[in-house]
Structure 1
Amino acid sequence: MYAPIMIVMQYQLPLPSDYDVSTLRDRIPAIGARFDNLPGLGFKAFLLREQGVNGSPLNQYAPFYVWTDPAAAGAFLWDGASGGFTGVVGKYGRPAAQIWITGGYHRGAGFGAPVTHAVRVVTPVPADIDPAETATATRETVDKRLDEADLHSMTWAIDPRTWELLTFTMHTKRPDVSEGELYEVPYVSAPNETALQPA
């Protein structure tokens, strides 16, 4: 028997180089409260990058979602409800919403402490590699990392259109990063985190 399908979704919104990121940082908790009871949402991490901080080359707002119910993800994107994607389109224009099928979500040793940072790594799945091999290797990597003291949680997923592997880690303090994108996380809404499934 298979676990229910979970969907990862992210859209990345570049902000002007002279944008005052602190104003958005201050608004995010109020925005996040609107998602704290949203049905079908495992969690939403509010991600920020600020130009010149943590090595970021740009200002960026890049919300990251893991949905426990694909229908809820669809409703968020196109049912026009207040607080949904319609609000994003009205303020920022219509960004591309990246979608991955989630392989697993796992709590780390730091789960329960406030999240401060996140790291997103996207790597291609080589054309000559069976995706099942990539999934097995990723599960093994996840298992080896869950004891890291400052690791809150880890999500991995694959985009079967581009055949890219996504790993997304949330941390309770700033991690050392050798690859991927490092984000500040001012807020996490997690109304249905307990429904997220490991794989």
Structure 2
Amino acid sequence: MHAMQYEITLPADYDMEIIRRRVATRGHLLDDFSGLGMKAYLIRERGGVSPVNQYAPLYLWSAPEGMNAFLWGPGFQGIVDDFGRPEVRHWTGLSFREGPATGALARTAVRRRERIADTLRPADAVEAALEENSRSALAPGAVATALAVDPRQWELLHFTLWEHEPPEGPGDRYEVLHLSAPERGRLGSGRQW
């Protein structure tokens, strides 16, 4: 599994209905994309808990060939044509777990990026994060959770989809506009090694 995300931060007065219409008319195009485990079409709107308007889809790839086909194909080129070329972050997958609400419609997502302190052994930090991921996957309302790491930056990515507003806690909160999950079953279950 590979995780990938790009963030398109939009002006404070941007009409987010434009993004909603974009996802409503184009989101289904990845519903059967080979190599894609899951794509969560995520937005944040300025005010409330978000300081910005942002479109920030997050992908979980079941195969690197799918990620490459997307990045070098017409799908990502559409983003580049409409918004410019964003920085694409990616992480190596550590764990994926379905939650108790696995069959429910994901409405909210929480993404938390956490730097692994230089004073910690990377393996110890990953073990602690795996335990946290397992607990998160058992929470009422959790649809699915993923954990990944960027070893270049020594950064952990915690990601959870929820069927309702999630419990209070750290991380960026997003509204899920659509979920494409053609190869969700190929993301595996639990630890990725």
Give the TM-score, by structure 1 length: 0.91
Aligned to 1:73: 67
Pairing partner for 1:184 from 168, 175, 189: 175
Does residue 107 (structure 1) correspond to residue 98 (structure 2)? The answer is: yes
CA offset at residue 100 of structure 1?
0.3
CA distance in 1, matches of 2:137, 2:41: 22
Pairing partner for 2:123 from 101, 107, 132: 132
CA offset at residue 48 of structure 1?
0.3
Considering only aligned residues, what root-mean-square deviation do their CA atoms show, in Å? 1.2
SS in structure 1 of the partner of residue 175 of structure 2: strand
CA distance in 2, matches of 1:145, 1:168: 10
- Could you tell me which runs of 5 or more consecutive residues in structure 2 were left unpaired when the two chains were aligned: none
Aligned to 1:42: 37
CA offset at residue 109 of structure 1?
0.8
Letter of the structure 1 residue corresponding to residue 159 of structure 2: F
SS in structure 1 of the partner of residue 30 of structure 2: coil
- Could you tell me which runs of 5 or more consecutive residues in structure 1 were left unpaired when the two chains were aligned: 1-5
CA distance in 2, matches of 1:193, 1:149: 20
Give the TM-score, by structure 2 length: 0.94
CA offset at residue 131 of structure 1?
1.6
Aligned to 2:136: 145
Deviations 1:38-71 (A, max 9, x none): 0000000000001114x11110000100001112
More displaced stretch, 160-169 vs 133-142 = 133-142
Letter of the structure 2 residue corresponding to residue 188 of structure 1: L
CA offset at residue 30 of structure 1?
2.4
CA contact (8 A) 2:39 2:57 kept: yes
State the number of aligned residues.
190
Aligned to 2:55: 61
Aligned to 2:165: 174
Identity across the alignment (%) = 38
SS in structure 2 of the partner of residue 114 of structure 1: coil
Aligned to 2:23: 28
Moved over 4 A (4+): none
Pairing partner for 1:11 from 6, 27, 35: 6
CA distance in 2, matches of 1:177, 1:74: 36
